[in-house]
Structure 1
Amino acid sequence: MIVVVKSGTALPEINRICEEVSGTWGITPEIVPGKHKVIIGLIGDTANLDPFRIQEISPSIEQVLKIEKTYKRASREYRHGQAGEVVVRTPNELVHFGEHHPVVLIAGPCAVESEAAIVATAKRIKAAGAKFLRGGAYKPRTSPYSFQGHGESALEMLAIARQESGLGIITEVMDTADVSRIAQVADILQVGARNMQNFALLKKVGAQDKPVMLKRGPSATIDEWLMAAEYILAGGNPNVILCERGIRSFDRQYTRNMLDLSAVPVLRSLTHLPITIDPSHGTGKSELVPMMAKGAIAVGADALMIEVHPNPAKALSDGPQSLTPEQFEQLTTELAAIGQTLNRWPKQTAVLV
């Protein structure tokens, strides 16, 4: 349930409304500042609450609405239909994820392999327009014999790359025990597809303040995905970014997964959370990444995560789906043409023709 407060209502009156709701019904109020209005989310057992009784608390209350969806904080209704955004502080700037902001580019290798390679890659992708470097320190792999990442030493390499390039860092967390350590290096914590419903992990990242990118599970419905996001939001962390990375399909001969671009407009109608598309995992083939990346911008994605490796043929993981730095640079010029047409591209980026 949400309470919409009239524009211009003073903060003391908003606080009084919250106190009365809490004292009378034992409901937890949560103030959500909007662009034009303030919304008070009512958290708890609101099923039997009478909206008219709440309306009587104050003449400053414009409307009281019930949220019918099982995911409350993640729903678009929770912000009264307004778009949300996640603001991330990187070494050099604040980066905004959201539908009213330029598309954010995230790039880098699947796994951190060496300091020289990750630093060089970071500098190349930044020059091409990326705002974040992605790289796995801990890697969940289907086979126990596959490369699992360098762990602690890879985090140190990411920290060096962050310092050398000025890019923000996004890396995956797999275990609740690693959250604090990874949060010291990462600007965004990634919860991977295999851990989308690892509820202990979701609660843990929800209890810390770094933004979280939540990847969709390979067989997850959109409602299940949003309920997983709800765990993080309910833990107190409002900064959640969704990432579509392909879902399991019956035909795996030609693509690794089926990249669900239709999820973008569907999610836009359901949630205020920003949406990222990962065409690298979504297709599994580098030659398919550019077209799907362009399609992602066309359907309204807020960010792209693209795997880039200096030598994909020798990559320790996911080489076949990785672009070279040169290919990534070429792709960004093509993406800029679409992004600028839709007013979703940084103003300073030039389109090469």
Structure 2
Amino acid sequence: MIVRMSPEADDRQRERILHLLRERGYEVMALGRGGSPVIGVNGKPLAEDLPAFLSGQPGVEQVVQTDRAYKLAAREVRPAGTVVRVGEVAFGGPEPVIIAGPCTVEDRDQLLRTAEAVRRAGASMLRGGAFKPRTSPYSFQGLGETGLELLAEARALTGLPVVTEVLDTEHVELVAEYADMLQIGSRNMMNFALLRRVAATGKPVLLKRGFAATIEEWLLSAEYLLAGGNDQIVLCERGVRGFDTATRFTLDLNAVPLVRQLSHLPVIVDPSHGTGRRELVPPMSLAAVAAGAHGLIIEVHPEPEQALVDGRQTITPETLADLVRRVRALNAVTAGVLAGV
């Protein structure tokens, strides 16, 4: 059960509801950073008269009961949607957020050149991997803490907030010290210990869909973060594994409008991993925005052919600049059409 508080409810009214529920032996969790405050109720079976009792309390807008496996992630919890803020950047607002940067931090010169280039191209955030999950143990695994230090330097140079992936529970606090947003990658989407640890940092989270995960499994992973008290979650569709090898993955753009119907959390798209082909990144980026994506995360490198990781799917800063202009123009046309989605 979810108790949706009125936007005008004050702290005293919210604390009273929390007290009433705890007094009756229920587990409760409060969310309030990304939109209207909500209280999740868990634990023993609900008393029959509890919803009606709570509905009559000051500050309560509505008591929501849902049969969905994911309770806190459901759209009914926050019909107006959640806004996730990373510094001055807002996911879930009227403008799509463009995150861009190299797949992997290779060295200082490469990262700073790329960071400055994506800033000039119009990106809102910088991405870059310091710890890299690789299928082969012999592939480049990233620079680790040195990579994090370089990302912090790039942020200081450009003013762009930084998102980077955290792979292991033992690295969570270290990555959170440097990054503005923590990424949970496709391979770790169902690493529940990592999800709990990341939720506890309070940092905004970019949650990528597992490449073999259903929509419900993806939203249940988000539920772990929400149940940990963190509602600053951006979902990322990055392609699912199919039978065709013409592209790296199959970019599931069905997921964008569907997730917007099912959940209040903002959703963005990764056309780089979703296609694995740089020539497909611009058209699939535009398709994602037309489908209602709240943003894009794109791999960019000054010299894609020289990139240590995923050069085939990486675009140049010049291509990014042209794409940003086209995304903004498309968004201006489609914003009114998608307002009700």
TM-score above 0.5: yes
Deviations 1:213-271 (A, max 9, x none): 0111110000001111111111222211111100000111x100000011011101111
Displacement of 1:42:
3.3
Shifted more, 9-18 versus 207-216: the winner is 9-18
The 5 Å alignment of 1:1-353 reads 1-5=1-5, 11-28=11-28, 30=30, 32=32, 40-45=38-43, 47-50=45-48, 52-56=49-53, 58=56, 60=58, 61=60, 63-79=62-78, 81-89=79-87, 94-98=88-92, 100-252=93-245, 254-343=246-335
Look up the equivalent residue of 1:121 and give its one-letter code.
T
Classify the secondary structure of the residue corresponding to 2:298: strand
Distance in 1 (CA, whole Å) between partners of 2:11 and 2:140 is: 54
Look up the equivalent residue of 1:130 and give its one-letter code.
A
Look up the equivalent residue of 1:75 and give its one-letter code.
A
Contiguous gaps of at least 5 residues in structure 2 = 337-341
- The alpha-carbon distance between structure 1 residues 66 and 151, as it changes in their structure 2 partners (threshold 3 A), is same
Look up the equivalent residue of 2:91 and give its one-letter code.
F
Deviations 1:191-229 (A, max 9, x none): 110111111111110111111101111100000011111
C-alpha contact 1:67 1:78 (8 A) present in aligned 2: no
Look up the equivalent residue of 1:152 and give its one-letter code.
E
Displacement of 1:342:
2.6
Distance in 2 (CA, whole Å) between partners of 1:97 and 1:160 is: 24
- Percent identical pairs in the alignment equals 47
Q: Which runs of 4+ in 1 moved over 6 A?
A: none
C-alpha contact 1:2 1:39 (8 A) present in aligned 2: no
User: RCO (CA 8 Å, sep 6+): is it higher in 1 or 2?
Assistant: 2
Distance in 2 (CA, whole Å) between partners of 1:232 and 1:331 is: 32
Shifted more, 13-22 versus 101-110: the winner is 13-22
C-alpha contact 1:55 1:63 (8 A) present in aligned 2: no
- The alpha-carbon distance between structure 1 residues 269 and 313, as it changes in their structure 2 partners (threshold 3 A), is same
Classify the secondary structure of the residue corresponding to 2:273: helix
Deviations 1:133-168 (A, max 9, x none): 111111111111111111121111111111111111
2:339 corresponding residue in structure 1: none
Distance in 1 (CA, whole Å) between partners of 2:14 and 2:134 is: 49
Deviations 1:254-296 (A, max 9, x none): 1000000110111011111110100000000000000000001
Deviations 1:40-87 (A, max 9, x none): 42321364432x4442353545543312111111111222x2211101
C-alpha contact 1:21 1:54 (8 A) present in aligned 2: no
Classify the secondary structure of the residue corresponding to 1:138: coil
C-alpha contact 2:133 2:141 (8 A) present in aligned 1: yes
Look up the equivalent residue of 1:203 and give its one-letter code.
R
- The alpha-carbon distance between structure 1 residues 34 and 326, as it changes in their structure 2 partners (threshold 3 A), is closer
C-alpha contact 2:199 2:230 (8 A) present in aligned 1: yes
Shifted more, 275-284 versus 113-122: the winner is 113-122
Contiguous gaps of at least 5 residues in structure 1 = 345-353
Distance in 2 (CA, whole Å) between partners of 1:85 and 1:196 is: 21
C-alpha contact 1:277 1:304 (8 A) present in aligned 2: yes
